[in-house]
A = this chain, B = another copy of it.
Amino acid sequence: MTTVQSPTHTRADFQTDQEVRWCPGCGDYTILASVQNFLATLDRPREEFVFVSGIGCSSRFPYYVNTYGVHSIHGRAPAVATGIAATRPDLSVWVVTGDGDALSIGGNHLIHVLRRNVNLKILLFNNQIYGLTKGQYSPTSEEGKRTKSSPAGSIDHPFNPVSLALGSEATFVARTVDMDRSHTTEILAAAYDHQGTAFVEIYQNCNVFNDKAFIQLTGKAERAHNRINLVHGQPIIFGPDNEKAVVLEEGEARIVDAAGVDPGQVLVHDETRPDPSVAFALSRLSHGPYGPTPLGIFRRVSRPTYESLMDAQVAAATAKKGPGDLATLIRSHGTWTVSEDSSADPAPGSPNGSANGNPR
């Protein structure tokens, strides 16, 4: 582990000596490879990366990436990562999580980290199932899904993770799929470049408990019909022969025959709109990978990161009051001195003395 850092890396530099323990054929392997390869392309020392995860198959990820890492507890990765990122802006902090980890037990931390815009890269491996606990439905499982815990079918209406993220004030929201490694890599690069929380939903196949869930987007035959690629500045058209187009009608995003509309009407994708409304509308084109589904970056806008604002306050306070002096602080509530002859000699009045004063 003490290999001297070479300016540029190979994937091997980001592999650990730990045997990778996912089921053969699991989509997690593909994503791991994409991430390791991407990291190797960055001219950045290994020790500056931290991977934080919760609990789940996906959350084993940090054990296989030779950087700093924390395999924390179920759902809490965003909180742990916030403590790291907020105090160490010099690091590149990544969160790896699952649909149960991030959206079920961890939902609260996710929505709050998004609104705070902490500088984290969140990779949500969405396999629409609880893998590690052997196959219960998750908050992204389709209604009616039969699982160990829903033998008669799930009665829960699922989340649309992209809609949820946009409703949580996210500054960067994207979606990709495990099998498409080059697309995954593009998205990883954009997320890495983003200043703030980058939320990336990665459709990931669990071949043991939810096989082929994403076949519409990965199957040779199907994908051309169902992949709606969002490309900044490009009109949104798709289909084997680009015969389908996305337009805005009555404030909603709708799929139409490209032939039926004049090219000017086709929605040209703009990730940078300050108003998330159109991104939200695009997220409603699908409610899961069951038909035409947008992949790519829905939204990418800039807002100060949490840690930059935190540092600014520390800097401002220091500039204003000077670096803290403890001796002064403990005297700040007024003092008096008892000298040898034990006569008290009152000190000047004590400003700021009512820590438990009257709130009115």
Contacts and interface: CB of A to CB of B under 8 A. Distances in A.
Given A167-B163, A277-B281, A284-B276, A155 B112 contact: no
Nearest to A159: B115
A146 to B, nearest CB: 12
Identify the interface centre among A116, A267, A275: most chain B CB within 10 Å of its CB: A275
Contacts of A248: 250-251
A132 interface: no
A132 B316 CA distance: 30
Interface in A231-251: 248, 250-251
A318 to B, nearest CB: 12
A160 B317 CA distance: 30
Contacts of A69: none
Q: Tell me how many chains of this kind the complex includes.
A: 2
B116 A107 contact: no
Interface residues on A, range: 35 or more
Interface stretch (A57-65, A187-195, A302-310): A302-310
Contacts of A117: 157
Contact of A167 (B156, B280, B303, B309): B280
Interface in A162-208: 163-169, 208
B115 A156 contact: yes
A89 interface: no
Contacts of A158: 115
Interface in A123-181: 134-135, 139, 152-153, 155-160, 163-169
A106 B359 CA distance: 27
A40 interface: no
A135 B251 CA distance: 40
Contacts of A208: 359-360
A293 to B, nearest CB: 16
18 contacts: A104-B112, A107-B107, A111-B111, A111-B164, A115-B157, A116-B156, A134-B359, A152-B316, A155-B309, A167-B280, A208-B359, A208-B360, A248-B250, A251-B253, A275-B284, A276-B284, A277-B284, A280-B281
